[in-house]
Structure 1
Amino acid sequence: MKSLSYASLCLSALVLVSGCGGPSAEFPTVPVSITVTYKGSPLEGANISMVNNTTHSKPVVAIGRTDAQGVAKMSTPNSGDGAVKGIHLVTINKYSTTETAPAADIESDDYDPDSASNVAAPKSLIPVKYTSLNSGLTIEVGDTAVTKTFDLED
């Protein structure tokens, strides 16, 4: 079950990081902690991405995953370092997980190659508007550590 959420986090990071460099000494990072609540309760297991393209020649991404208290410590590809300075667009996603069915035996007389396409797609457990860079969620990172709370609603 956790592998789907982890895969979602990795996919988000891969999509956002492709072509994007991690920070260098030229772009120092600052610790960032984000708390996410949904309908007033902490949102555990949500994947958060921050994309900064305001102060650099190419986007610099930070990602994190919320714990049981809804808190994520953000990090660039250099693990645990925070985020670069500037204004970041924020996405948050959390999807339902389903148990993976055992692999079909392609040697069986009952094998149906079309049955694999009947697997249900993961369902967003929060409004899909928060999964887009156009979500309206932003965070500004300055010279000092940042703590930010996003209270998500339907």
Structure 2
Amino acid sequence: MDLKEIQNLIKFVANSGVAEVKLEMDDVKITIRTTLEGHSSDVTYVQQMPAQNAIPQAVVPQQIAPAVSIPTAPVEENAHYITIKSPIIGTFYRKPSPDKPLFTEVGNTISKGDVLCVIEAMKLFNEIESEVSGKIIKILVDDMSPVEYDQPLFLVDPS
């Protein structure tokens, strides 16, 4: 794995919102950790693993490049909104099928129990229902994109 591939991986992980990624290949071990608001800067380590036929030697991780930190300002300005998060890992869909209308749009008023989206996990389509009533302020995920567990999906104004 060359430096350019490692830099692209760092950018991808920083934009994905994942806290930590470990990647281990034949002779390379990479750990990328991102931090949340107010913590120390992000660090990526690359460790060269000794070949199995070679004489074992001590390997010290070396810092390659800091990853992009997540800005804290949007979190503060959206503090009075409720965040609806993904309960599972899967693929996010805004409509029940390609020929059907969207479940909800920005500006729509929702009630507790309304279906907001579908997340496909292992060929099963799981309807995600709202646990709060309010107005959709922002949809944080693009249609047909992968989502992680506990990833923010919607911002809702409960007032």
What TM-score do the two structures reach when normalised by structure 2? 0.22
Structure of greater Rg: 2
Higher relative contact order (CA 8 A, sep 6+): 1
Q: Greater strand share, 1 or 2?
A: 2
